[in-house]
Amino acid sequence: MSAGTRPLRVGVVGCGVMGTDHARLLARQVSGAVLTRLTDLDAGRARSLATELGARTSADGPSLIAEDDVDAVVVASADATHSALVLAAAAAGKPVLCEKPLAPSLQEAARVVRSLEADGAERLVTLGFMRRVDPAHVELRDALRSGAVGTPLLVHGTSRGVSAGPGATSEGLITGSFVHEADSVPWLLGSPVTHVCWQAPRRSAGGPELQDPQLLLLRTADGVLTTVDVLLGARYGYDICCEVVGDAGAVALSGATHATSLTTRSADLLRTSAYAADWRPRFAEAYRRELQAWVDGVHGLPAPALATARDGLVAAAVCDAAVGSMRAAVDGAGPWVPVVVPA
């Protein structure tokens, strides 16, 4: 922190996995911020984390937003609560960093963005698409801009986790996992997604509600064709890859980005390196940078750009097209569906 800076007093709504990580980062790893308030539906959970981190608790999200010792808010509560909290924070003139999604439906997301824009409050809202500050993704985007592969032609992405959670659904796979590619692919290419096509590979074990994996094809305005395979139950590790193939070469996030720093050789005649079990170790540095960039931005310091509410709306529209293709699929093959971003 620079001398003379008054630390930004931040409250965090939601103390689940993401909210807890954000709170710990704000309390221990971010310059220029102080964690002042926490709240959670489970009051005991909030209290326990508040004790650990030297913060106080508030009764609920709206109360936290209204506290005098809260200058800015992180929203990491249940998805259904995001839009109301974002609008409340914006109405209070307080900057808010909202975990994806902005809203549970495309229509609701559109309503939030319209409301923010009508009030001139867009600049107060940041969406938590952390890949935009993930060092590996930033390197990849910089490489593309520097012409490392010439003109991009094809993108291959994979979004794989270890196992599907208990209530996982086919649609949730799109809006919860694929949504990251819905944002990152056009961000990498600098070109919006115009059409989406859904395809069903052979189904892994899992409930009848869940088609896992899924293959999504994306067409961006520049003509690039993207494939993304999303597989919740990949077993072998959390694995986010991306390869961009151009007319002068190809570039990919290499294994280094999602595994250990070590190569181990052991008595079973194997050379091994480890995968992360979930997104937290993989994107730990991205989350730290996201929060630092957000706090720096509020302080008026130079900081990398983060995703806006409108970016969240656009990603939701891409997911909506993917769901539409899925619903129209015959024998596992969906049609190409145009992406329509509501006015």
Smallest distance, a copy of itself to C-beta of residue 89, A? 19
List C-alpha distances in Å: 41 to 15, 18, 101. 8, 14, 19
* Alpha-carbon span 256 to 19, nearest angstrom: 27
Smallest distance, a copy of itself to C-beta of residue 339, A? 15
Nearer Cβ to a copy of itself, position 330 or 343? Answer: 330
Tokens of 263: 């190569």
Whether the ω angle into residue 101 lies within 30 degrees of 0, i.e. cis, is yes
Q: Please name the residues in contact with 118: beta carbons below 8 A apart, sequence gap of 6 or more.
A: none
Smallest distance, a copy of itself to C-beta of residue 103, A? 30
Smallest distance, a copy of itself to C-beta of residue 76, A? 18
Smallest distance, a copy of itself to C-beta of residue 269, A? 5
Nearer Cβ to a copy of itself, position 93 or 255? Answer: 255
* Alpha-carbon span 12 to 177, nearest angstrom: 23
* Alpha-carbon span 118 to 137, nearest angstrom: 33
* Alpha-carbon span 144 to 239, nearest angstrom: 21
Nearest to 58, CA basis, from 7, 13, 8: 13
Nearer Cβ to a copy of itself, position 24 or 111? Answer: 24
How do strand 96-98 and strand 72-75 relate by DSSP bridges?
parallel
Nearer Cβ to a copy of itself, position 103 or 294? Answer: 294
Smallest distance, a copy of itself to C-beta of residue 180, A? 17
Nearer Cβ to a copy of itself, position 35 or 309? Answer: 35
Nearer Cβ to a copy of itself, position 108 or 290? Answer: 290
In total, the chain counts a number of residues equal to: 343
